[in-house]
Copies of this chain bind each other. A is one copy, B any other.
């Protein structure tokens, strides 16, 4: 990285997508300026509209004025540009494909049902809980007895999932029968272990603060 590199990250603190490139940058020890977007106030900055005119979403990584959008694409970019430290994707092509497959699975299969555990009610909420548990159990199987999804070292897939961990308390709070640790003890132990990393502790918000935010979301949906 050249000394005069300018790195800016546009994020929104409760977003698991926004957490991914933050953790990646911190693991790589890249100096960057974090800018919080006011998404709740429907008051997006002119910078995000200019840098991500297609999706108008966070995260946006801006490296020397050039935008990289979409969280996984940004994490891969960070891994490729700052490649000398803390490799995130495995070097073996098959293992890389596996990491990408499960990361993609998280976004396709976990995000929507997990969100519905606290933003819906009745049968819809019940179905969302079942679906979330099913997906988390599959991921528990992928983790197995490894320290990290990446093996001994944390990596791309760990970064893909960890943002959900700080939401677990919110998922559980609005459904008394939803105890993630009882269903997926290895995932919960992994999350606790992961929280001890500086990069993660710095980025992941407190579960209580996320719960407060979840409450605001529920108010918006007319559930509180």
Contacts and interface: CB of A to CB of B under 8 A. Distances in A.
A94 B66 contact: yes
Interface string A59-97: 000010010111001101100110000000000011011
Contact of A93 (B80, B101, B104): B80
26 contacts: A54-B105, A54-B138, A63-B94, A66-B94, A68-B94, A68-B97, A68-B101, A69-B101, A70-B100, A70-B101, A70-B104, A73-B97, A73-B100, A73-B101, A73-B104, A74-B97, A76-B96, A76-B97, A76-B100, A77-B93, A77-B94, A77-B96, A77-B97, A80-B93, A80-B96, A81-B93
Majority secondary structure, A binding face: helix
Contacts of A105: 54
A168 B96 CA distance: 34
Instruction: Name the residue among A66, A74, A76, A97 with the largest chain B CB count within 10 angstroms.
Output: A97
